[in-house]
Amino acid sequence: MTEQGDRFFVLAVSIAARLHDALDDARSISLQAMNAQASIARAGEQSRAMEPIVDYMNGLSLSIIQLVQDVDDEALLISRESLTEFRESVAVERFVDAVRLGQGAKHMDAIEAKVELLRHNLTVIRQGTGKKISVLIGLLSSIETTLLSANIVTSSFRIEVGKLDSEHKVTFESLIGAFNTATQNIRSVVNRCKADLATTRVLATTKR
Amino acid sequence: MKATKLFEHYDHEWIVFGRDPEKPTGIIDTNQYMIKARGAAMLLDPGGVELFAPMLAAVAQHVPISSIKHLFASHQDPDIISSLGLWDKTLEGATLYAPWIWEGFIKHFGCEAIVYDPLPDEGRTIRFGDTELEFVPAHYLHSSGNFSVYDKSAKILMSGDIGAALLPDGAPFFVEDFDTHTSAMTMFHQRWMPSNKAKAAWIARVRELDVDYMAPQHGAIFKGEDVVRFLDWFDALEVGIAV
Ligand SMILES: [Fe+2]
Ligand SMILES: [Fe+2]
């Protein structure tokens, strides 16, 4: 495989695998939020203040799930395109060999023109992959922003939980704990994906 | 890639390509054939992906690429047609004649621009320039969907893997001594060909044809009397022995 095609293919596959875990975590956040909504209903009047916070938390988890799925789709497209790029670059190599071997042959003009056309196609495919990588980076940043909002929400939630009596406090504190763990996991997955992307991009541009 | 003219009569030609000095080690040597007639060209068993570049360069010595409108694959093996995906990027408006049973398989090599024309089991005859090309059934020799090609005017039978010999690099293009040549053919035919019945049917068909050259995909080409010698030798050979 070519340097770029090879690296982007591996990258896309590894991102897709990592996101599988992130998706589990995002789903668990959503589940925590739903549990919190049920607990609020049980706790009655004294936990009313927490209701909008929990709703917001649920909304955040749903948008994280959506973003993770979008990243996954994008990674799949990138892996497909990397394979196309691989096939096309192998073809270019074979045609370049033919031009070298056929130097001076009577009917080489058409083959030389073919090489140029294939080279052009390859450039277009590479540009397409580059654009998809940018979209991927954008999606990862959106996940980060969403996680940041989740942090703020958790802080307000903690303050509200502090006002509750001890029985309900325990339930909600454990929810906050689970929510925090899930967001931390997603954050570290996103960071690892971003680090992989940065390395791959640098290698792809230097090796091209 | 070396090239030799097998036949020439006005604008009707047969050229064999092979014995490529740049061939990567470890892959079996193959003969590729080209028929030219009335400005059109057909490649027969155009070869594996590893040989595409030397083949394209060699072909460009003889014809403009735009004149290659026909390909033939005797069967589905990679040494026969794994270059298809690259020819697909090279040729415009071309048709591939190949056994119908392999259509869904051969297309895995890449066949978007080239039209796959599936050959029925009983074979078919097409007009090519001023000659007729007959796709002669050779099923189970060795592939379960397999054809030879017979050119009526040139009296050449392209026999695919039938008549193949495993020869050292750079061996001559033609059989020089039939009796010593059989030692390079015996194992190939006994091990790769599965059916005595299929063998007998093909031999009977070919005995009906007037053949000056029998041109296999591996090894050396049989001329004149050696064609009949080959048919007799093959007739007497027990095949499908690895059971
Ligand atoms: Fe074969
Ligand atoms: Fe073969």
- Examine the pLDDT at A125 and tell me if it is beyond 50: yes
Let me know: does A136 contact A197? Beta carbons within 8 Å.
Answer: yes
The alpha carbon of residue A142 is apart from the nearest alpha carbon of chain B, in Å, by 39
Q: Enumerate the residues of chain A whose CB falls inside 8 A of the CB of residue B53.
A: 94-95, 97-98, 100-101
**What mean pLDDT do residues A159-183 have?**
81
What whole-number distance in Å separates Cα of residue B167 and Cα of residue B173? 10
Q: What is this model's ipTM?
A: 0.91
- Examine the pLDDT at A3 and tell me if it is beyond 70: no
**What mean pLDDT do residues A97-125 have?**
95
pLDDT for the residue numbered A208 = 46
Tell me the per-residue pLDDT of B189-206, one tens digit each, with 9 for 90 and over.
999 999 999 999 999 999
Contact status of B40 with chain A (Cβ, < 8 Å): no
**What mean pLDDT do residues B7-17 have?**
97
Question: pTM for the complete prediction?
Answer: 0.85
Q: For chain B, give every domain's residue range.
A: 2-236
What whole-number distance in Å separates Cα of residue A96 and Cα of residue A88? 12
**The listed CATH number (3.30.420, 3.40.50, 1.10.1200, 1.20.120) that belongs to domain A3-80+133-207:** 1.20.120
Q: Which residues contact B4 (CB under 8 A, 6 or more apart)?
A: B15, B16, B173
- CB crowding B59-97: b at 16 or more within 10 Å, else e: bbbbbbbebbbbbbbbbbbebbbbbbbbbbbbbeebbbb
**What mean pLDDT do residues B20-29 have?**
88
Tell me the per-residue pLDDT of B160-182, one tens digit each, with 9 for 90 and over.
999 999 999 889 999 999 999 99
Task: Indicate the fold that domain B2-236 takes in CATH.
Answer: Metallo-beta-lactamase; Chain A (3.60.15)
* Sheet containing B115-119: order of strands: B2-9, B12-18, B32-37, B40-44, B68-72, B95-99, B115-119
Let me know: does B14 contact B155? Beta carbons within 8 Å.
Answer: no
What whole-number distance in Å separates Cα of residue A87 and Cα of residue A84? 5
Helix-then-strand count for chain A, H and E: 4, 0
DSSP one-letter string for A165-185? -HHHHHHHHHHHHHHHHHHHH
Angstrom distances, CA of residue B117 to CA of A27, A190, B59, B125: 52, 51, 23, 13
Contact A111 B65 (CB under 8 A): yes
Q: Percent of chain B, pLDDT > 90?
A: 95
**What mean pLDDT do residues A103-109 have?**
94
pLDDT for the residue numbered A21 = 80
- Examine the pLDDT at A207 and tell me if it is beyond 60: no
pLDDT for the residue numbered A202 = 64
Nearest to B60 among A91, A100, A111 (CB): A111
What whole-number distance in Å separates Cα of residue B89 and Cα of residue B10? 31
Tokens of B72: 């033939």
AA letter at B13: E
Tell me the per-residue pLDDT of B204-232, one tens digit each, with 9 for 90 and over.
999 999 999 999 999 999 999 999 999 99
Residues forming a β-bridge with B115: B95
Tokens of A191: 């960071």
User: In residues, how long is chain B?
Assistant: 243
The alpha carbon of residue B12 is apart from the nearest alpha carbon of chain A, in Å, by 19
pLDDT greater at residue B99 or residue B243: B99
Tokens of A24: 């589990």
Round the average pLDDT of chain B to a whole number and report it.
97
Contact B58 A95 (CB under 8 A): no
Please state whether the peptide bond connecting residue B9 to the residue before it is cis, i.e. omega within 30 degrees of 0: no
Contact status of B87 with chain A (Cβ, < 8 Å): no
Q: Percent of chain A, pLDDT > 70?
A: 93
- Examine the pLDDT at A2 and tell me if it is beyond 80: no
Contact status of B56 with chain A (Cβ, < 8 Å): yes
